[in-house]
Structure 1
């Protein structure tokens, strides 16, 4: 039983170490009648504007950066996580996984 628990915790730890990332390329826009790449980024989640070279945390638990109008973001909570008999849910305030029993979602697993 201890071996199974140890293997489950190891799998959980490895799953939490991996994050996912994506990039939103800059879109050409007309500036003073000339087609140009923008210098700033618009966060597609909340519409906020960020200058080139800046970094910020989005409301969706993402760490984002802006370079020449291109927005790159990575998750702050890691990739996917699982534990037998439990459901993983990302807490939007802490950006960390919380685990709840599948048969009783009001009960934490750990």
Structure 2
């Protein structure tokens, strides 16, 4: 029963990642010394997170702490397929989104024909 539950969760996760088009990575734990007890997940800032917890980083990643490592996914998509000669994409770290605007007039948005994560 436990294996079926694990496989079902893995399937849901793989489908949701494909649908969201997010860029994700998994960082497994590497104990400093064999047999060391792992008490949680340390993020890139050195902050300890409890197993099962989730957090958002300053770099717009959503991370989760598991007993075997940390999983992080980007929360934004990068615009592609716009007129790069006339327009520029600007990333807003506060909202974790891109805005594509005219280079000469940032008050005018440009059409975007695709996004990649």
For structure 2, the residue ranges without an aligned partner over 5 or more in a row are: 1-19, 110-117
Q: CA deviation at 1:41?
A: 0.7
Distance 1:51 1:25 in 2: 15
Post-superposition Cα deviations, 1:26-78, rounded to whole Å, max 9, x if no partner, equal 11134xxx63362311111x221101110011111010000015111001112
Identify if the C-alpha distance between structure 1 residues 71 and 81 changes in structure 2 by more than 3 Å, giving closer, same or farther.
Answer: same
Distance 2:100 2:108 in 1: 6
Distance 2:99 2:59 in 1: 16
Instruction: Show structure 1 runs of 4+ deviating over 6 A.
Output: none
Instruction: Give the count of matched residue pairs.
Output: 87
Contact 1:76–1:95 (CA under 8 A) maintained in structure 2 = yes
Query: Could you say what secondary structure the match of 2:58 adopts?
Result: coil
Query: Could you say what secondary structure the match of 2:71 adopts?
Result: strand
Which of 79, 82, 87 in structure 2 is aligned with 1:81?
79
Q: What do you get for the CA RMSD once the two structures are aligned?
A: 2.1
Distance 1:28 1:37 in 2: 8
Distance 1:37 1:74 in 2: 26
Distance 1:47 1:88 in 2: 32
For structure 1, the residue ranges without an aligned partner over 5 or more in a row are: 1-16
Q: Which residue of 2 aligns with 1:7?
A: none
Q: CA deviation at 1:107?
A: 1.9
Q: Which residue of 1 aligns with 2:56?
A: 57
Distance 1:69 1:21 in 2: 16
